[in-house]
Amino acid sequence: MHLKVNDQVEITTGDDRGTRGKILKVLRDEGKVLVEGVNRVYKHVRRSQKNPQGGRLSKEMPVQWSNVLLVCPACNRAARTGAKLQEDGSKVRVCKKCKSAVGTIAPSHAKSK
């Protein structure tokens, strides 16, 4: 999964299809991501001291990571990504459409002699 917090993504399936948002949280164990403004549900809250009026709270729920695509900042399109090994030993994400580097995955490894 080549998705990180603060990445711009586009939803590919479901009610929010075509919506773009920023990743707020990545849940690697569950294979889900929390995207800003997407998959909103209502949580009914009882009156309490913390919430004296009660009512319905709108909150975001996680989306399956396979239902989002990373938006490439160079071509501004949702595209699949791949990994490419650089000459200095670092690994970067690469947009499959425009072949530009999107961000680093792993830093370069210093070889000890």
Question: What integer pLDDT is reported at residue 111 of this predicted model?
Answer: 59
Tens of pLDDT, residue by residue over 49-106, are: 998 999 999 999 999 999 999 999 999 999 999 999 988 888 999 999 999 988 888 8
Which value, to the nearest 10 degrees, does the dihedral of the CA atoms of residues 27, 9, 68, 83 take?
-80
Q: Which two tokens stand for residue 65?
A: 């990571």
Asked whether 74 and 83 are in contact (CB, 8 A), the reply is no
- Rg of the chain on CA atoms, in Å: 18
Which residues have a Cβ under 8 Å from the Cβ of 96 and sit 6 or more positions away? 79, 80, 81, 82
Which residue is associated with the tokens 């949580």? 43
What the chain holds in terms of domains, given with CATH numbers, is 1-71 (2.30.30.30), 80-113 (no CATH)
